[in-house]
Amino acid sequence: MAAGVSSQPKKVLNLYNWSNFIAPDTVRNFENETGIRVNYEEFSSADVMYAKLKIGVTGYDLVVAPGYMVRRMIRQNLLTALNPALDRGVFLPHLQSPPYDKDLAYSVPYLWGTTGVAYNKTKIDRIPDSWDLLWNQDFKRHITMLDEKRDSIATALFRMGEDPNSTDAKVLEQAKRELLKQRPLVRRYTSDFVDDLIRTETWACLGWSGDVAQAKKSNPDVEFYLPKEGGFVFVDNLCIPKSAPNPDNARAFIEYFLRPEVCSKITNSTGYANPVTQAKTLVDSKYLNNSLGYPPKEQLERLVYQAELGAQEAVWDRIWEEVKR
């Protein structure tokens, strides 16, 4: 606040988060404890959130952003550095130095998960372990792929044993051919895969761990695994935009979230693992040592972060468009 202007700082926090990405009572408890009133708004596409900040919509104090977007937003000077910096030691080891923000200078890990294969166990009589399941001819028109170029193209790359962040045009062409082979089996390319999975409309799909955990609550036949060829680990992060009117209140929410009893509740409600090491003891045991929540060590080693594609991102865009159209 500028010196000389006497204005009472408003006790308000404008929070912009994914839909279904918080426990039902988190906001209320935070309000009761701090007296800060929360304006809670949800998005279902991170691109929409990013587009709003990019074109200069102001008023958000705290936004939840996926890692690849954090990187872009840091570069475009849309985020405020955390001051003082957080103690990274409280986070799980593999989240302490993510490639998009190595020192966690601008982002606080919020929830994290993995990409893998979800399937309905009544439709298959052996336990699958490979990405091959998404190319299974018996599942014709019962497979869905995510409408996300990074995740879906990487599926083909993982399966081929290639770098899932490849920028090699030849390799990407090959991945495109694999995806075009798969296309007749695909019922649709969508990121809303949960309902189809619950209703057994989908028998196997590329999915995000926590969303699959949600589906499993409604349909116990749903299973999930991290394919032996590897998969992505992704982190959604709490970030304070440059334009935030109440950055102090955003900071208060971040500190509140990092309490083990708060973030473990969010995990138990959303199915997505939280980053706080100490919170693991409070998390529902069904998520521990399980690819749905906290994968065991040997599975963690298969996980890869999405890397910057640089100028080659245009090639990914073009390939994804050619696969879908």
Partner 1 sequence: MNRWRPWILLAPFLLFDLLMVIGPLCVVVWQSFHAIGPDYEVQSGLTLANYKRALDPAYLPALGRSFLYAGTSTTLAICLGYPLAYFIANQKPAKKSLLLILVMLPFWTSYLVRTYAWMTLLQTEGVINGLLLKLHIVEQPLQMLNTPGAVILGLTYCFLPFATLPIFVSLDGLDRRLLEASSDLGASGWQTFKSVILPLSAPGVMAAALLSFVPAVGDFVSADLLGGPDDHMIGNVIQQQYLGSFNWPFGSALSMLFIGLMVLSMFFYAKTEDRDQ
Which residue lies nearer to partner 1 by CB, 38 or 198?
A: 198
Q: For residue 100, what are its two tokens?
A: 């998009």
Report whether 147 contacts 196 (CB < 8 A). Answer: no
Which residue lies nearer to partner 1 by CB, 49 or 279?
A: 49
Which residue lies nearer to partner 1 by CB, 173 or 321?
A: 321
Report whether 100 contacts 70 (CB < 8 A). Answer: yes
Report which of 105, 80, 109 is spatially closest to residue 94, judged by C-alpha positions: 109
CB of 92 to partner 1, least distance (A): 30
Largest CA-CA distance found in the chain, in angstroms, rounded: 73
Report whether 275 contacts 92 (CB < 8 A). Answer: yes
CB of 210 to partner 1, least distance (A): 22
CB of 198 to partner 1, least distance (A): 10
CB of 158 to partner 1, least distance (A): 21
Which residue lies nearer to partner 1 by CB, 41 or 313?
A: 313
CA-CA distances (angstroms) from residue 148 to 9, 117, 190, 280, 281? 40, 15, 8, 30, 33
CA-CA distances (angstroms) from residue 270 to 18, 115, 214, 297? 11, 16, 7, 22
CB of 47 to partner 1, least distance (A): 5
Which residue lies nearer to partner 1 by CB, 186 or 233?
A: 186
Which residue lies nearer to partner 1 by CB, 186 or 266?
A: 186
Spell out the residues 6+ positions from residue 252 whose beta carbon is closer than 8 angstroms to its own.
Answer: 13, 34, 36
Report whether 253 contacts 97 (CB < 8 A). Answer: no
Residues that bind partner 1 (CB under 8 A): 45, 47-48, 51, 72, 75-76, 141, 147, 149, 183, 186-189, 195, 199-201, 310-311, 313, 317, 320-322, 324-325
Which residue lies nearer to partner 1 by CB, 149 or 265?
A: 149
CB of 128 to partner 1, least distance (A): 22
CB of 115 to partner 1, least distance (A): 18
Burial 148-157 (b: 16+ CB within 10 A, else e): bbbbbbbbbb
